[in-house]
Amino acid sequence: MAGHSKWANIQHRKGRQDAARSKLFSKFSKEITVAAKMGDPDPDKNPRLRLAVKEAKSNSMPKDNIDRAIKKAMGGDSENYEEIRYEGYGPSGVAIIVEALTDNRNRTASNIRSTFSKRGGNLGETGSVAFMFDRKGQIVYPASTGSEDDIMEAAIDAGAEDVESDEESHVIWCADSDLAEVSSALEAKLGEAEHVKLVWRPQTTTELPLEAAQSLIKLIEALEDDDDVQSVTANVEFSDEVMAQL
């Protein structure tokens, strides 16, 4: 997916802003707290928590923040969050999956529906677009980590399914249930990854012209700005020409 690394870079640059950074850390804290509350507070004994901590660290979240989120779960005074997935369509019929952690289902559903409507999209029923995606583990290393052949060999040895390499990064894919094991094996051989997370991987992608791409980005950014939203995925790809104008 040629659009992956470019879109990730746009997000990364936006994340440099203090406000966006604070919001990102808040989302990580929520995921860490939920993971610790649902399982063991020791990351070595809790795969979901281990992955949440890895992703938080890869985004430079301070250790104190991570420890505080785990202690919050252990203390029993944390909110009871519910995991909800929303599915819908954006401009030009692009399929979108929104994952949320919320302590108020009605509030979140209302906000998500309103955002879709205001930004030219439509919120659908559960299952309306999920069939166009596969749930996968994603591990990202910078291109400087090694050659495409070296990364491919390491990925195969670790049990990964696929590798996509370009001039900026190596994106390694594996079964969702294997992510903790594969990422640990790769870390032992290649060092710490830039990102380790579960994602929705589009089976096919749609390439949009500039105007539709601008509308879609506004919708995605508005959804990501919601405090209850943890992730937003769309089956879209941007050409180099559109990216240059964006």
pLDDT value of residue 2: 44
What percent of the chain shows pLDDT beyond 90?
A: 41
What would the pLDDT profile of 79-122 be if each residue is shown by its tens digit? 788 889 999 999 889 999 999 989 899 999 999 999 999 998 99
Is pLDDT of 61 > 60? yes
CATH number at residue 124: 3.30.70.980
Is pLDDT of 175 > 80? yes
Q: Are residues 48 and 93 in the same domain?
A: no
* Burial class of residue 96, CB neighbours in 10 A (0-12, 13-18, 19+): buried
- Segment 119-132 mean pLDDT: 91
Number of domains the chain is built from:
3
Q: Are residues 53 and 110 in the same domain?
A: no
pLDDT value of residue 112: 95
Is pLDDT of 206 > 90? no
pTM over 0.85: no
Residue 234 DSSP SS3: strand
Among residues 48, 75, 102, the one where a domain terminates is 75
In this structure, how many other beta carbons lie within 10 angstroms of the beta carbon of residue 135? 13
- Segment 157-179 mean pLDDT: 93
Helix (H) or strand (E) holding 230: strand 229-234
Q: Are residues 53 and 157 in the same domain?
A: no
- Segment 16-27 mean pLDDT: 75
Residue 196 DSSP SS3: strand
- Segment 50-65 mean pLDDT: 86
pLDDT value of residue 15: 46
- Segment 12-17 mean pLDDT: 53
> Residue 82's closest CA among 37, 50, 46?
37
Handedness of CA 214, 218, 224, 225 (dihedral sign): positive
Average pLDDT of every residue of the chain: 86
pLDDT value of residue 78: 63
Q: Are residues 121 and 209 in the same domain?
A: yes
Nearest-10 crossing angle of helices 210-224, 105-118:
160
Distance from C-alpha of 194 to C-alpha of 58, rounded to nearest angstrom: 5
Q: Are residues 119 and 168 in the same domain?
A: no
pLDDT value of residue 7: 53
